[in-house]
Structure 1
Amino acid sequence: MPSLNILSGGAAQGLVGSVAAKFKKQTGFDITGAFGAVGAMANKLREGTPADILILTSALIATLVKENLAEAASVKDVGRVETALAVRDADPLVAACDATNLRAVFLAADAIFVPDTRNSTAGIHIAKVLRELGITDEIASRLKIYPNGATAMRHMAESEAKRPIGCTQATEIIATNGIKLSGALPKGCDLVTVYTAAVTRSAVHPGETQLLIDLLTATDQAALRAQAGFLDPL
């Protein structure tokens, strides 16, 4: 069975999964590859990992175009994704209307589940927010760091902690069974990331890849993107 190879930020995994059956019906192609921290995915491409399609942050796609690793003419924004808080399905929602309240939410948690704080978009931002809130050292023993947001959220869903909290991109929270979205980070601590798709310069199936990008970004797929946690591009 033919397949397209994808290298994508974890934020887009749920959305890609939701169109996979339709794409296969149209083209006969499966979608295979890796989802994870965007920096790690970009490095996989640089190291020669086969890939037809990329879905990474807009800034990183622009860099890969300059590095002659992605086709400039193929670039399309998929949508914006908020970094947000998560709780388990059985736990009450938490409110974080400002930085002071967010600080209290983190301090009240006995386990804080986050993605890679060096290579993932949300993880890098969360580490910065914790520093700005002045609680990095205080919560260090409670910080549970995983390679990407999806993995962090799965572990949170299975956690036996009494008061766990998760923080990653909204799309990864929505796509994970056992947890629920508890709102975006408050103003001043917030992060909204634009995710962008592109065909790689080494794509084996560039035509089918462009069809997948068109499917992910089509006007009539707006409701599906919203359901997955994507806001429309500005």
Structure 2
Amino acid sequence: MKSLNILSGGAAHGLVASLTPAFKDLTGFDIAGDFGAVGIMADKLRRGSPADIVILTAALLAELAEEKLVVAATIADVGLVETALAVRTADPEVTARDAAGLRAALLASDAIFVPDTKASTAGIHVAKVLQQLGIAEEVAARLRIFPSGATAMSELAASDARRPLGCTQSTEIISTKGVKLSGALPTGFELATMYTAGITTAASHPQQARELIDLLIGAGQHEQRKRAGFMSEPQPGQRAPT
């Protein structure tokens, strides 16, 4: 079976996986490629990794279009993804309603599982939040940093820490067995990131890439996107990225 090559942020992994059977039925193609930190995926495309379609943050897609690596006219919004807290399935939920609550929750945790703090959307944001709360140095030894949010959540699920906590994008929490969505970040610390899809200028299968984008953004998949953790609009108190 032929495959459509994809480079995608980890935030879209669960949604793409849920649409793969329909895509196979429609096109006869499988989906192959990498999912991970958006910065790393963008750099893979820049280095020449084969890809028909990319799903990354809106800001990165705009950069790649300027660099003539993505066809600007094909770029389409998939949806917003919030950065949120996660706990193991059997653990009580952790809710942070304000800065004091978030600070207390992070200080009470003996292991904090996060994605790459230099290349992933959520990881970069977590690092900023810790600085904003004034506890970056205090919790540095408790940080458990992994290449992607999905990996971080899998490690959280397997953790034997007394009171572990995770923070990554909601889609990666929802799609990982053994963890559950515990709550959004409070006002002033929230982040809702728009993810977009686009066809690469070097695509070997542009028609099939277009058909996958149509599946990703189609009205018929609204509930599927919602279940995967994508939002159409920011929720009250959230802010879209600049």
Normalising by structure 2, what TM-score? 0.96
Partner of 1:90: 90
Residue-by-residue CA offset, 1:74-118 (whole Å, 9 max, x unaligned): 110000000000000110001100111000000000000000000
Secondary structure of the corresponding residue to residue 197 of structure 1:
strand
Secondary structure of the corresponding residue to residue 161 of structure 1:
coil
Tell me how far apart the structure 2 counterparts of residues 76 and 199 of structure 1 sit (CA, whole Å).
Answer: 10
Tell me how far apart the structure 2 counterparts of residues 44 and 165 of structure 1 sit (CA, whole Å).
Answer: 30
- Displacement of 1:158 in angstroms is 0.2
Partner of 2:215: 215
Task: Check the 8 A contact 1:57/1:193 in 2, yes or no.
Answer: yes
Map residues 1-234 of structure 1 onto 2, 5 A cutoff.
1-233=1-233
- Displacement of 1:73 in angstroms is 1.0
> How many correspondences in the alignment?
234
Tell me how far apart the structure 2 counterparts of residues 209 and 174 of structure 1 sit (CA, whole Å).
Answer: 25
Task: Check the 8 A contact 1:53/1:197 in 2, yes or no.
Answer: yes
Counterpart AA for 1:154: S
Tell me how far apart the structure 2 counterparts of residues 143 and 28 of structure 1 sit (CA, whole Å).
Answer: 43
| Moved >4 Å (runs of 4+) | none
Residue-by-residue CA offset, 1:45-100 (whole Å, 9 max, x unaligned): 00000000000000000000000000111110000000000000110001100111
Secondary structure of the corresponding residue to residue 12 of structure 2:
helix
- Displacement of 1:128 in angstroms is 0.4
Counterpart AA for 1:99: A
Tell me how far apart the structure 2 counterparts of residues 174 and 99 of structure 1 sit (CA, whole Å).
Answer: 24
Normalising by structure 1, what TM-score? 0.99
- Displacement of 1:233 in angstroms is 4.6
- Displacement of 1:20 in angstroms is 0.1
Tell me how far apart the structure 2 counterparts of residues 71 and 215 of structure 1 sit (CA, whole Å).
Answer: 18
Gaps of 5+ in 2: 235-242
Counterpart AA for 1:8: S
Task: Check the 8 A contact 1:110/1:161 in 2, yes or no.
Answer: yes
Tell me how far apart the structure 2 counterparts of residues 10 and 32 of structure 1 sit (CA, whole Å).
Answer: 14
Task: Check the 8 A contact 1:194/1:233 in 2, yes or no.
Answer: no
Secondary structure of the corresponding residue to residue 151 of structure 1:
helix
Task: Check the 8 A contact 1:78/1:233 in 2, yes or no.
Answer: no
Identity percentage of aligned residues = 62
Secondary structure of the corresponding residue to residue 51 of structure 1:
coil
Gaps of 5+ in 1: none
